[in-house]
Amino acid sequence: MSVSIINRRNWNARSPSSSIFTVSWREKTEFIVHHSAGPTSQTVRQIQDYHINGKGWSDIGYNFLVDNDGHVYEGRGWLAVGAQAKNHNRSGIGVCFIGDSNKVTVSLKAKEAIKDLYGEAVRRKGSPLRITGHGLLKDQATSCPGNRLRNWILAGMLSPEPEEDKMELSTRVKVDPFWLDKKQLDRDNYPVEHFLVGGLVETRVYGSQIMEALNNLNKRLDTIEAKLSD
3-class secondary structure, 229: coil
CB atoms near residue 133 (< 10 Å): 26
**Cβ nearer to Zn ion, comparing 125 with 134:** 134
Select from 28-36, 61-69, 146-154, 210-218 the region that touches Zn ion (CB under 5 A): 28-36
Judged by beta carbon, residue 58 or residue 89, the one nearer Zn ion is 89
Cβ neighbors of 95 (< 8 A, separation 6 or more) are 31, 32, 33, 34, 62, 63, 64, 65, 66, 114, 117
Scanning 42-50, 106-114, 117-125, 131-139 for contacts with Zn ion by CB under 5 A, the matching segment is: 131-139
Phi/psi for 127 (5° steps) reads -160, 160
Per-residue binder mask for Zn ion (CB under 5 A), 34-73, x = binder: x---------------------------------------
How many residues belong to the site for Zn ion (CB under 5 A)? 3
Report H helices in the chain.
Answer: 44-49, 108-125, 146-154, 192-195, 208-228
Distance CA 214, CA 194 (A): 11
- Per CB under 5 A, 134 contacts Zn ion: yes
Q: Is the CB of 111 or the CB of 134 nearer to Zn ion? A: 134
Footprint (CB under 5 A) of Zn ion, residues 142-201:
144
Contact positions vs Zn ion (CB under 5 A): 34, 134, 144
